[in-house]
Amino acid sequence: MKKVVFPGSFDPITLGHVDIIQRAIPLFDKIVIAIGNNYDKKYMFSLEQRIHFIEKTFKGIDKIEITTYQGLTVDFCKKNNIDYILRGLRNPADFEFEKAIAHTNRVMSKIETIFLLTSARTSFISSSIIRDIIRNNGDVSALVPKVVLE
Q: 3-149: what fold?
A: Rossmann fold (3.40.50)
Query: How far is 82 from 101, CA to CA, in rounded Å?
Result: 17
H-helix or E-strand containing 35? strand 30-36
Question: CA nearest 113: which of 78, 84, 80?
Answer: 84
Number of C-beta neighbours around residue 141 at 10 A? 9
E-strand ranges in 1-150 read 3-8, 30-36, 64-69, 84-89, 112-117
DSSP state of 118: P
Instruction: Give the confidence band of 41 by pLDDT, cuts at 50, 70, 90.
Output: confident
Mean pLDDT (whole number) for 18-39? 95
| 110 has catalytic annotation | no
* 127 a catalytic residue: yes
Residues 90, 99, 109, 119: which is the catalytic one?
Answer: 90
Find the mean pLDDT for residues 95-104: 94
Q: Give the confidence band of 143 by pLDDT, cuts at 50, 70, 90.
A: very high
Instruction: Tell me, yes or no, if the pTM score tops 0.85.
Output: yes
